[in-house]
Chain A
Amino acid sequence: MAQHSLRNKVAIIGAGMIKFGELFDKSFETMIEEAYLNALKSVDKGLDPKEIEAAWLGTLYPPQGNSGVLLSFATGLFGIPVTRVENACATGSDAFRNACFAVALGLYDVALVVGVEKMRDDGGGLIQRTAVKQLWGGRGVTMPAFFGLHATAYMHKYKISREEIALVSVKNHRNGALYPYAHYRFECSVEDVLKAPYISYPLGLYDCCPVTDGAAAVLICRAELASQYTDKPVFVLGSGLATETFFRGGDLTSFPATRYAAQQAYEMAGVSPDDIDVAEIHDCFSITELISYEDLGFAPPGQGIALLKEGIVQLEGSKPINPSGGLLAKGHPIGATGVAQIVELFEQLRGQAGPVQVKNNPQLALQHNIGIGRTATGSVSCVHILGRG
Chain B
Amino acid sequence: MHTPPVWRIARENARLIGYRCRRCGFVEFPEPRKTCKRCRAPAEFEEISMGTRGKIVSFVVQHRLPEGFETPLPLAVIDLENGARVYGQIVECKPEELTVGLEVEADFRVFYDDAGLRVYSYKFHPVRG
Q: Which residues of A contact B (CB under 8 A)?
A: 124, 127-128, 131-133, 135-137, 139-142, 144-145, 148-153, 156, 197-203, 245-249, 251-252, 377
Complex alpha-carbon distance, A137 and B57, angstroms: 17
Residues of chain A within 8 A (CB-CB) of B59 are 149, 152
Contacts A128-B66, A149-B60, A150-B58; is A140 near B73 (CB within 8 Å)? yes
Complex alpha-carbon distance, A143 and B89, angstroms: 15
Complex alpha-carbon distance, A124 and B89, angstroms: 22
- From B60, B88, B111, name the one whose CB has the most chain A CB atoms within 10 angstroms: B60
B24 to chain A, nearest CB (A): 10
Contacts A150-B58, A152-B59; is A139 near B75 (CB within 8 Å)? yes
Residues of chain B within 8 A (CB-CB) of A246 are 77, 85
Contacts A141-B87, A149-B77, A156-B100; is A248 near B37 (CB within 8 Å)? yes
How many pairs, one residue from A and one from B, have CB atoms within 8 Å of each other in the complex?
Answer: 100
Contact status B37-A251, CB under 8 Å: no
How many chain B residues touch A (CB < 8 A): the figure is 37
Complex alpha-carbon distance, A338 and B85, angstroms: 31
Contact status A252-B95, CB under 8 Å: no
The A interface, classified by DSSP as helix, strand, loop or mixed, is: mixed
Residues of chain B within 8 A (CB-CB) of A152 are 58-60, 100
Contact status B57-A153, CB under 8 Å: yes
A231 to chain B, nearest CB (A): 46
Complex alpha-carbon distance, A199 and B119, angstroms: 26
Q: Could you show 15 A-B contacts with beta carbons less than 8 Å apart?
A: A128-B66, A131-B69, A132-B69, A135-B119, A136-B5, A136-B30, A137-B87, A139-B87, A141-B87, A142-B64, A149-B77, A152-B58, A153-B58, A199-B63, A248-B38
Contacts A127-B66, A140-B69; is A135 near B13 (CB within 8 Å)? yes
Residues of chain A within 8 A (CB-CB) of B38 are 248-249
Complex alpha-carbon distance, A202 and B98, angstroms: 12
Q: Which residues of B contact A (CB under 8 A)?
A: 5-6, 9, 13, 26, 30-31, 37-38, 57-66, 68-69, 72-73, 75-77, 85, 87-89, 95, 100, 111-112, 114, 119, 121
Contact status A135-B75, CB under 8 Å: no
Contact status B65-A131, CB under 8 Å: yes
B69 to chain A, nearest CB (A): 6
Residues of chain B within 8 A (CB-CB) of A139 are 75, 87-89, 111, 121
Residue of chain A at shortest CB distance from B8 = A136
Contacts A133-B112, A136-B30, A249-B38; is A142 near B65 (CB within 8 Å)? yes
Residue of chain A at shortest CB distance from B111 = A135
Complex alpha-carbon distance, A377 and B77, angstroms: 11
Residues of chain A within 8 A (CB-CB) of B63 are 197-201
Contacts A139-B75, A249-B38; is A132 near B68 (CB within 8 Å)? yes
